[in-house]
Structures are given as structure tokens and as C-alpha cells.
């Protein structure tokens, strides 16, 4: 567990975190068993997952541990297990294969010894004989493995239990919040290096490497694949390539990239421009940066995230009118869903162990769904804001030919200044994204500490 915290403070906050997890899991079992007496779950076995290989190849796909396992242990290793049962100390089954092909050593942190009973095994196949004689549920991807160790099919990833645990993941402990703060601090170092590389004429590949080097990480250690887009490519929301061509003439950089600390990832987006960029686009960027901060300031407990998204769409409508991209009043643009042509994604999502964290469209611990409004189907978060909930705020404004050109000769196309849109297509788009925590009375911006 690496962090800038003192080891004693980190150990205490981690211990408090594990205690909170134990309470949540005990409550979840009481809830699930009371709702469905047939379950009778006495313990929960969580599997980090197993390695897999590319089809018709012996090369291993980079491993990513299951989120509910990482919630307990910051260890991104295959075939590790945590067992939780009410009133008992949690057990960590540490599997260390005897192997000379790969490094298999696991450095056990002292805080793990304090929080878990650690049972060391040399293979996952040994697990069955160490499990208690109890009615155990399995959480993880390897359902055939679960069956092989005697877990009944009905107790493999039961929906009711997962709904309860997914819903609770949105509320962060103090330990989790500190990891997210550290992940943001590290990510900002990468963004500063990326911007400098861009201003010096670096290619997408150069900018990407500058980010990784500043964070001191490998690409596979990132919480998600970095989006490093120059000019027109910044209108591709999840642009995945890293062009190596000379980029001295590039005018716009959109970089969406984060860093991971103890399993928790930051998700930060910045848009940068050169002095020679289109003047309207420069003004749009200034307006978008202001809008993003205004949205952050709106956040408070009890607010519906859908309302934050609707405020983002209203802000985009204002920017379109202010910059003569559209000529009708804001209400008319919103009525015709014009802002969604320029911002087709949601204004953010839950954040934590997973970048798009679980439970974003749940309305309760029972798994009830709260879908987004019909006008914004891509919105990933529809929760009511609660204290210590963490999510992103990331409004955007893009010039996407695939969306806009379909409207050029349609009724909605009459709202749009096509001459200016054509001039701005080469600029791509704008996104500004921070990671925020809901506080008792407002908001803490984890990205702008």
C-alpha cells in the first residue's frame, strides 16, 4: 500500500475501512437472508479472478482484479480470495504458485496481518479443503471454479447480494477518499507533463509517454486506456490511438487520463490549446472551463445527478448561443435536444475502484433501477447525491461530423450555424473533468486540491 500518508495513519484508516466493510457485509447478509430465507448465506467468498489468454495464443491478457475483491485488498493478482463471515475475522487466502517462469512473490503489508487471518496456499485448487463447512456464496467471474469447490449454483453471484454491495460502493470511507486524493495528485503531475509536451509539438505518442513517465507508471497500470487526442480526433469520445506523426502544427489537445493508487483511480480530462488556435474555439474552451466549475459548485447532498446533467445541457445551450453556433433561444434548443448533438455523453459517473463504478443507475439496495431521462440515454449516474459519494463532473462540447451532418438538411439543422461548424470541425472538441466528493453541506473537488 503506497501513499504519501504516514504508515501509522494509513494503517489506522485502512483498519477503519475494513471495519466498515465488515459492517456492510454483515448488514447485506441479514438483508438478503431476510428477503429470501432459502438463501441462508453464512459466508462470502470473493475471488480476485483468474488469468486468461488471447485466443489461439499462449500470451496472457493483462489481469485486472475484480472490484469487490479490491475493495478489501489493494492487490491486483489472480486467484486470490477473501472470505467474510459475520462475527469472525476475515480470511485472506494468499495463493503463491511455485513457479520459475514468472515472479509470483506477494509482499504482504503489515496492515493485512492486522486485519486478516492469512492462509497461504500454492494453488487455488487447495482452497476447498480450507473453507468452513458453511453455506457460502461466491462472488467472482470463475463460476466453473466455484462449482468445483462445492458452491451451489444459486449461491454464485446472487443478484440480491450484488445489488446491495454495488449500491454501497458509491459511499467512500476515509481510507478510500485519501487514495482518491493521492490518485488525483499523481494524475495532475501527468497532465502537467502532457500539456508541456503538447506545447513543444509532441505527437500523441509523445504526450502519452510524457504522462506515464511523470506518473511513474506503465500503461497497463493506468486505471483506463489514456485518451490522447490532437485536433479533430478530440471529437472521438474514447479515441484509442496514439499517432506518432509530427504534430508541430496541432492546435488542440484533449487528454483524458488518470492514475491508480491502491486500486483507486483518478479520471481527469483537460483540453489545451495553442495561441494560434481558432479564436471562437478558444472562447468556447474558456466558457467550458467556467461551466465545469459552476456545475461543481452546485453539488450538495439530496441533489439528483440527473439535475446536474440537465444543468450541463443548459450550459452548453448558452455557449452555443453566445458563440453564434445556434440562433434560437435556449429553451428552443433544449426542447429540440440540440445540446446533445454537441455533448452526446453524460456529465459524469461514479468513481472509485472502477472508473465507471458500479451502482450508478440503482435507486436502492434492492437493485431497483433508475434509468436516465430519454433525452440522455448515455448518462451513467442517476443517483441522489449523498455525503462521501464520489463521481466525476465532465461537461463537453464537440464537433462530431457523424452526429451533426445527419442534421444538416433536417429540421433541427435550421438551428445551427453551419459555416461556423465547418470552420470548427478541425478543432475537434472540448472536455473538462474533475473528480468530486459530496460533503455534508456541499462539495470537495479532489482534483483541484
- pLDDT one-digit tens code per residue, 91-138: 999 999 999 999 999 999 999 999 999 999 999 999 999 999 999 999
Helix (DSSP H) and strand (DSSP E) numbers for the chain:
13, 15
Confidence class of residue 1 from pLDDT cuts 50, 70 and 90?
A: very low
Share of residues in the chain with pLDDT > 70 (%): 99
User: In whole angstroms, what is the distance from residue 170 CA to residue 392 CA?
Assistant: 12
* Range 7-168: architecture per CATH: 3-Layer(aba) Sandwich (3.40)
Task: For residues 160-189, give the mean pLDDT.
Answer: 98
Q: Please, which contacts does 410-417 make with residues 24 or more away whose CB atoms are closer than 8 Å?
A: 412/336, 412/337, 412/338, 412/341, 415/326, 415/327, 415/328, 415/332, 415/333, 415/336, 415/338, 416/325, 416/326, 416/338, 416/341, 417/324, 417/325, 417/326, 417/327
User: In whole angstroms, what is the distance from residue 437 CA to residue 254 CA?
Assistant: 24
Q: Is the dihedral of CA 216, 219, 220, 224 positive or negative?
A: positive
Confidence class of residue 390 from pLDDT cuts 50, 70 and 90?
A: very high
DSSP string, 266-332: --EEEEEE-TTS-HHHHHHHHHHHHHHHHHHHH--TT-BHHHHHHHHHHHHHHHHHHTTSB-S-HHH
Query: Does domain 174-445 bear CATH number 1.20.120.450?
Result: no
User: Could you identify the residue written with the cell 466525476?
Assistant: 392
User: Could you identify the residue written with the cell 479564436?
Assistant: 279
Q: What is the pLDDT of residues 308-336, one digit of tens each?
A: 999 999 999 999 999 999 989 999 999 99
CATH 3.90.230.10 residue window(s) in the chain: 174-445
Inform me whether the pLDDT recorded for 36 exceeds 90. no
Average pLDDT, the chain: 96
Of 191, 229, 223, 244, the closest CA to residue 354 belongs to 223
CATH 3.40.350.10 residue window(s) in the chain: 7-168
Confidence class of residue 7 from pLDDT cuts 50, 70 and 90?
A: confident
User: In whole angstroms, what is the distance from residue 341 CA to residue 28 CA?
Assistant: 42
Inform me whether the pLDDT recorded for 20 exceeds 90. yes
User: In whole angstroms, what is the distance from residue 396 CA to residue 180 CA?
Assistant: 23
- Confidence at residue 320, expressed as pLDDT on a 0 to 100 scale: 98
How far CA 286 is from CA of 272, 292, 338, in Å, comes to 10, 10, 21
Inform me whether the pLDDT recorded for 292 exceeds 50. yes
Here the cell at position 139 is: 462472488
User: In whole angstroms, what is the distance from residue 430 CA to residue 146 CA?
Assistant: 46
User: In whole angstroms, what is the distance from residue 67 CA to residue 113 CA?
Assistant: 21
Degrees (nearest 5) of the Cα angle 199, 203, 205?
125
Inform me whether the pLDDT recorded for 5 exceeds 60. no
Inform me whether the pLDDT recorded for 3 exceeds 60. no
Residues 6+ apart with CB under 8 A from 10: 1, 3, 111, 175, 178
- Confidence at residue 35, expressed as pLDDT on a 0 to 100 scale: 86
Residue 25: how many CB atoms within 10 A of its CB?
24
Inform me whether the pLDDT recorded for 187 exceeds 90. yes
Residue 107: how many CB atoms within 10 A of its CB?
6
- Confidence at residue 198, expressed as pLDDT on a 0 to 100 scale: 98
How, if at all, do strands 268-273 and 429-431 pair?
unpaired
Helix (H, G, I), strand (E, B) or coil at 169: coil
**Low-confidence winner among 3-12, 211-220, 276-285, 351-360 (lowest mean pLDDT):** 3-12
Here the cell at position 201 is: 509539438
- Confidence at residue 9, expressed as pLDDT on a 0 to 100 scale: 85
- Confidence at residue 4, expressed as pLDDT on a 0 to 100 scale: 47
What crossing angle do the helices spanning 159-168 and 7-35 adopt, rounded to 10°? 140
Helix (H, G, I), strand (E, B) or coil at 378: coil
Task: For residues 171-182, give the mean pLDDT.
Answer: 98
DSSP 8-state secondary structure symbol assigned to residue 369? B
Amino acid at each position: 500500500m503506497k501513499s504519501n500518508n504516514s504508515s501509522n495513519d494509513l494503517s489506522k484508516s485502512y483498519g477503519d475501512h475494513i471495519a466498515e466493510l465488515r459492517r456492510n457485509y454483515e448488514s447485506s447478509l441479514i438483508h438478503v437472508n431476510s428477503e429470501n430465507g432459502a438463501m441462508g448465506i453464512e459466508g462470502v467468498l470473493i475471488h480476485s479472478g483468474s488469468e486468461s489468454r488471447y485466443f489461439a495464443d499462449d500470451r496472457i491478457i493483462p489481469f485486472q482484479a475484480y472490484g469487490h475483491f479490491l475493495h478489501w485488498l489493494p492487490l491486483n493478482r489472480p486467484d486470490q480470495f477473501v472470505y467474510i463471515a459475520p462475527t469472525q475475522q476475515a480470511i485472506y487466502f494468499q495463493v503463491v504458485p511455485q513457479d520459475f517462469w514468472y515472479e509470483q512473490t506477494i509482499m504482504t503489508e503489515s496492515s493485512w496481518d492486522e486485519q486478516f487471518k492469512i492462509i497461504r496456499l500454492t494453488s487455488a485448487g487447495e482452497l476447498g479443503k480450507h473453507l468452513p463447512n458453511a453455506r457460502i456464496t461466491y462472488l467472482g467471474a470463475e463460476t466453473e471454479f466455484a462449482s468445483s469447490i462445492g458452491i451451489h449454483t444459486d449461491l454464485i453471484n446472487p443478484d440480491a447480494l450484488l445489488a446491495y454491495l454495488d449500491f454501497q460502493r458509491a459511499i467512500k470511507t476515509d481510507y478510500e477518499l485519501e487514495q482518491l486524493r493521492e490518485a488525483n495528485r499523481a494524475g495532475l503531475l501527468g497532465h502537467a507533463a502532457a500539456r508541456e509536451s503538447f506545447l513543444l509539438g509532441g505527437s500523441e505518442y509523445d504526450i502519452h509517454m510524457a504522462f506515464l513517465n511523470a506518473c511513474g507508471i506503465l500503461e497497463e497500470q493506468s486505471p483506463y486506456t489514456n485518451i490522447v487526442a490532437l485536433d479533430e480526433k478530440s471529437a472521438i469520445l474514447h479515441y484509442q490511438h496514439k499517432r506518432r506523426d509530427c504534430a508541430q502544427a496541432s492546435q488542440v489537445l484533449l487528454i483524458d487520463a488518470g492514475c491508480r493508487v491502491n486500486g483507486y483511480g483518478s479520471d481527469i480530462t483537460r483540453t489545451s490549446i495553442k495561441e494560434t488556435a481558432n479564436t471562437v474555439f478558444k472562447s468556447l474552451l474558456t466558457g467550458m472551463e467556467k461551466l465545469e466549475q459552476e456545475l461543481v459548485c452546485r453539488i450538495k447532498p439530496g441533489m439528483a445527478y440527473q439535475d446536474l446533467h440537465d444543468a450541463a445541457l443548459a450550459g452548453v445551450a448558452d455557449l452555443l448561443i453566445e458563440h453564434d453556433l445556434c440562433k434560437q433561444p435556449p429553451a428552443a434548443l433544449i426542447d429540440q435536444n440540440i445540446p446533445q448533438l454537441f455533448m452526446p455523453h453524460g456529465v459524469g459517473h461514479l468513481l472509485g475502484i472502477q472508473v465507471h463504478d458500479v451502482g450508478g443507475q440503482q435507486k436502492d439496495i434492492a437493485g431497483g433501477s433508475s434509468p436516465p431521462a430519454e433525452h440522455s440515454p448515455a448518462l451513467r449516474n442517476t443517483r441522489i447525491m449523498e455525503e462521501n459519494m464520489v463521481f466525476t463532473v465532465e461537461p463537453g462540447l464537440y464537433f462530431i461530423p457523424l452526429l451533426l451532418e445527419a442534421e444538416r438538411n433536417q429540421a433541427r439543422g435550421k438551428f445551427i450555424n453551419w459555416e461556423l461548424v465547418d470552420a470548427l470541425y478541425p478543432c475537434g472538441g472540448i472536455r473538462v473533468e474533475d473528480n468530486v466528493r459530496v460533503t455534508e453541506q456541499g462539495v470537495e473537488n479532489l482534483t483541484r486540491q
